[in-house]
Structure 1
Amino acid sequence: MTIDIPRPDELTAGRPLLFRNATVLSMDPAIGRLDGGDVLVRAGLIDRVGHALTAPEDAVVVDATGGILMPGMVDTHRHMWQTALRGFGADWTLSQYFVFYYLNWGKIFRPEDIHAGNLLSAVEALDAGVTTTVDWSHGLRTPEHADAAVEALRAVPGRFVLAYGNLLGAPWEWATAPEMRRFVDRHFSARDDMLGLQLAFDVTGDEAFPEKAAFEAAREFGVPVTTHAGVWGATGDDGIRLMWDHGFMTPDVTYVHSATLGEDSYQRIAASGGRVSVSAESEQNAGQGYPPTWRLRRHGIPVSLSMDTSVWFSADLFSAMRATLSADRAREHLEAHAAVETVVHHTLRAQDVVEWATLGGARVLGLDDRIGSLTPGKKADLVLLRNDRDPAMFPLLHPYGHVVYQAQRADVDTVVVDGRVVKYRHELLGVDLRKAREAVGATVEYTRRTLGEEAWREALEPEIPRTEPVSNPYTYSTYRGEGVAVRQEES
């Protein structure tokens, strides 16, 4: 049976939407994987999942043959405002990142620059099939900066969580200020499934535990906390111990990175029901520590995935899945080799990592009753991967492995958020990309002018450390006698 290709103007809000004949990765254990499966979306919800579903009379039917239909992906830690300087820190270490944003230039970003970065980042997320993003927004120096962040997130039809932070201020001060209360009342007085709130701050390990007031503020507001933990040279076991001793390790705390903690800290996170956001590409490149999934799995700590910041990396959870699975397996092999053993069966599977990118993220955010799987009754956040022009998209033999190791953001055909089609046949709908580009262009011009050309160039091209080359005894330049090679210094 031939199915007509719907026009974008037919994908109006309120009409049922039936995806027909896809490889369905429901991420719901009760449903599992369906070959040639259908998913019906109605009234913003997943209505039915199965085979040969009957299309309602007014339904729009999308032929998903040859495609993978899966839940929308969830990024649980992303500094969205920094997308305005996309790729600027591609060669930075974590120390250089700290120097640029925390010590030297973080203070120059205006509210309109926060808005620009958030706007482009939000659009980018939808385009890549990331339907929910935690905006770890630690550039909110003033209420005006925070208002600008919210305005940008509400302008894009995705699902977001604003994690309010201020890297240039003390959390025990800004979290308890009257301006913070007014901000919460202004934007979050009622529950909103499309925009949630967290507090974002780090615990330094100071024995006086000044962060206690920020934790108490989070409890007063009734919002979760997200914190960078186990980051080499910045946050470690002392911070975890202080949180534990003061009763602030609870199931609604997300520990970002958690790469350099001791066993006792992992035990505390596990015992308190805490969750971890792993940014494998960032951890491997910047130096927070080795991606810790190989340790988190042993403790049964829930895992989600994140991309950190576009000053290094794009909003591409395909890359996150690939980097995470590769890092975990590499560690497993290295541990075995150190014991003069060989790994013959992988412990972590591709399906596990796809789950971390979807249901795992929803679980970490406490949203797994609403999103994260294609389960009837949940919000209709879903992604169709299909690209007939990409030779890597067929044959489709191992669907979970295909998502992790073969698919890419260019293969995101259709994206649905809260039942609304926001991308269709590889084109964004109802999103003003031109406006985002213009806003970011203005921020780049302002930032470059403010830094000055010398500082701009120094930040863009950091100094390369000198390394001594290893002497190679097998390098020869002359010959002596028949068939005898001689090194240069001996000739």
Structure 2
Amino acid sequence: MTPTLLLRNGTVIDTDPVPTVLADSDVLVEDGRIAAVGPGLPAPPDAEVIDATGRIVMPGFVDAHRHTWQAGIRAILPDATLPAYLERVLGELAPRHRPDDVYAGTLAGALECLDSGITTLVDWAHIQLGPGHTDANVEALRASGIRAVFGYCYGGGGDLDALGAETRRVHRAYSGAPAGPLTMAMAALGPEIAGADRALAEWRLARDLGLPVTAHMGGHGPESAARGLAFLDEHGLLEHPTNYVHANHYTGEALKRIAGSGGTASVTPFIEAALDMGPPPTGRARDAGVATGLGADTVASGPGDMFGVMRAAYVLERGRPGGAGLGFTAADVLRMATIEGAEAAGLADVTGSLAPGKQADLLVLRTDTLGAASAHDPVAAVVLSADTRNVDTVLVGGRAVKRGGVLRGHDVPALLGSLAESAAHVAHA
């Protein structure tokens, strides 16, 4: 049973409906959920009081798109483009991964998230080369303590019957347990990557199993984006809960159609710019009414913390030609990194804001560092000034996974040793 906690006298930032700062306020956590927010809350007799004076208390970040298994190939491909990434990472390095490599990479990647204040993760796991890889992936997510959407992407080849059978096995094994921090989605290759037959099988299977879909769509050029969306429409799949990853090349009208169908977007601004995928659709998607989350995507070519991702989103959007993005604010970025990311993950009723009843996925940031001290706007301080050094305490479901700047419950040196061995094998096999 999780402890009762009272985070006392912090600068509290809620994110829904808009980022709002509550000075000298408290957050009460009971049974792993947010019970109350406000100044001067009475402490229950059994509560542990955490002094948050001089700290920022806010919802944990949501990484809405990440290939978590890639922690062992960090910075292996800087200065690349998307074709080079596909050839090197997916064509050469991924097939070398053993189940133990998947476990080490996924656990290290998930702990990296927690260490930097990301409490919820959409793990787009296209390393499912066999059942052993899948089981290792899920075991690592569970061991980490993060709230995760396991985006299962079948990697066993083109046999659609085998795709269906293995996806159903995974669903039975990992979606039938009592509600917890791990849920499942269909990580679909989709019509722009895998073609019509597999895409139909993926969406229909997701519908039969009651799974949302997350797919790389809209990031492969204007013609491909238009064809992919038309394919979903033609086959009656547009209304199925779908998260469109990248979405760079959708027109304004297409984005409005996605919004009208209930679809969401995940933007990975650093990677989209670095790999020359096209201008991130951050402002255009949000202007069209699409709930849009942020993701780190791959640490093979970019940073793995939300601070770096938020700053990339901010500067790339505000730097659009002709001043088109100058209406984009730090508050917009913070919303994308929290509640809109939760919407993209299908978890907006669970996390992403401080609404009473939601899971207590919380982040406490220090402000007594040279990079964050004397910040006049707390929201801007989080987006533009803070970094991973400011992350003091992280709660997932009311349970402290990081306290006093230190991860809890994991032998990090031993994990780093396993990761180093895995990285050497994968890179030189």
TM-score normalised according to structure 1 size: 0.83
For 2:196 and 2:313, how far apart are their aligned partners in 1? 36
Query: Is the 8 Å Cα contact of residues 87 and 312 (structure 1) preserved in structure 2?
Result: yes
Per-residue deviation, residues 380-438 of structure 1 (Å, max 9, x unmatched): 000001152x2122213111111110011110010010010111111111122123212
Query: Is the 8 Å Cα contact of residues 275 and 301 (structure 1) preserved in structure 2?
Result: yes
Is the aligned partner of 1:335 residue 2:322? yes
In structure 2, do the counterparts of structure 1 residues 218 and 191 end up closer, same or farther at CA, with 3 Å as the change threshold? farther
Choose 1 or 2 for highest CA Rg: 1
In structure 1, the residue matched to 2:343 is: 363
Is the aligned partner of 1:292 residue 2:281? yes
Query: Where in structure 2 are there 5+ consecutive unaligned residues?
Result: none
1:194 to 170, 173, 181: 181
Shift of 1:235: 4.8
- One-letter code aligned to 2:343: R
Query: Is the 8 Å Cα contact of residues 101 and 419 (structure 2) preserved in structure 1?
Result: yes
Shift of 1:260: 1.6
For 2:79 and 2:119, how far apart are their aligned partners in 1? 29
Query: Is the 8 Å Cα contact of residues 15 and 353 (structure 2) preserved in structure 1?
Result: yes
Count of residue pairs brought into register by the alignment: 427
2:217 to 229, 248, 252: 229
Shift of 1:208: 4.5
SS of the residue corresponding to residue 23 of structure 1 reads: strand
Shift of 1:92: 2.1
- One-letter code aligned to 1:329: R
- One-letter code aligned to 1:366: G
Q: Which has a greater percent of strand? A: 2
For 2:68 and 2:130, how far apart are their aligned partners in 1? 17
For 1:250 and 1:263, how far apart are their aligned partners in 2? 18
For 1:17 and 1:130, how far apart are their aligned partners in 2? 20
- One-letter code aligned to 2:292: V
In structure 1, the residue matched to 2:171 is: 184
In structure 1, the residue matched to 2:37 is: 49
1:320 to 309, 316, 324: 309
Per-residue deviation, residues 42-68 of structure 1 (Å, max 9, x unmatched): 111111111011112222111111111
In structure 2, do the counterparts of structure 1 residues 317 and 170 end up closer, same or farther at CA, with 3 Å as the change threshold? farther
In structure 2, the residue matched to 1:448 is: 427
For 2:272 and 2:18, how far apart are their aligned partners in 1? 34
1:147 to 92, 115, 135: 135
SS of the residue corresponding to residue 265 of structure 2 reads: strand
Query: Is the 8 Å Cα contact of residues 190 and 202 (structure 2) preserved in structure 1?
Result: no
In structure 1, the residue matched to 2:327 is: 347
- One-letter code aligned to 1:399: P
In structure 1, the residue matched to 2:409 is: 430
1:377 to 344, 357, 373: 357
Shift of 1:305: 0.5
In structure 2, do the counterparts of structure 1 residues 179 and 204 end up closer, same or farther at CA, with 3 Å as the change threshold? closer
Per-residue deviation, residues 463-485 of structure 1 (Å, max 9, x unmatched): xxxxxxxxxxxxxxxxxxxxxxx
SS of the residue corresponding to residue 76 of structure 1 reads: strand
In structure 2, the residue matched to 1:161 is: 149
Query: Is the 8 Å Cα contact of residues 102 and 168 (structure 1) preserved in structure 2?
Result: no
In structure 2, do the counterparts of structure 1 residues 401 and 122 end up closer, same or farther at CA, with 3 Å as the change threshold? same
Per-residue deviation, residues 10-40 of structure 1 (Å, max 9, x unmatched): xxx5331111111100223499421011111
- One-letter code aligned to 1:226: T
Per-residue deviation, residues 275-314 of structure 1 (Å, max 9, x unmatched): 0000000011011211101211231111101000111223
For 2:277 and 2:162, how far apart are their aligned partners in 1? 26
SS of the residue corresponding to residue 138 of structure 1 reads: strand
Per-residue deviation, residues 94-114 of structure 1 (Å, max 9, x unmatched): 111111133333222111111
In structure 1, the residue matched to 2:266 is: 277
TM-score normalised according to structure 2 size: 0.94
Per-residue deviation, residues 304-327 of structure 1 (Å, max 9, x unmatched): 010001112232111111111111
In structure 2, do the counterparts of structure 1 residues 53 and 251 end up closer, same or farther at CA, with 3 Å as the change threshold? farther
Q: Kindly indicate whether structure 1 or structure 2 has the higher relative contact order, using CA contacts under 8 Å at least 6 residues apart.
A: 2
Query: Is the 8 Å Cα contact of residues 19 and 379 (structure 2) preserved in structure 1?
Result: no
Shift of 1:144: 1.1
Is the aligned partner of 1:421 residue 2:400? yes
- One-letter code aligned to 2:275: A
Query: Where in structure 1 are there 5+ consecutive unaligned residues?
Result: 1-12, 337-342, 451-491
In structure 2, do the counterparts of structure 1 residues 180 and 290 end up closer, same or farther at CA, with 3 Å as the change threshold? same
Query: Is the 8 Å Cα contact of residues 387 and 412 (structure 1) preserved in structure 2?
Result: no
2:75 to 87, 90, 108: 87
| Pairs within 5 Å for 1:450-489 | 450=429
In structure 2, do the counterparts of structure 1 residues 75 and 271 end up closer, same or farther at CA, with 3 Å as the change threshold? same
Query: Is the 8 Å Cα contact of residues 230 and 288 (structure 1) preserved in structure 2?
Result: no
Query: Is the 8 Å Cα contact of residues 102 and 167 (structure 1) preserved in structure 2?
Result: no
In structure 2, do the counterparts of structure 1 residues 195 and 55 end up closer, same or farther at CA, with 3 Å as the change threshold? same
Query: Is the 8 Å Cα contact of residues 66 and 295 (structure 2) preserved in structure 1?
Result: yes
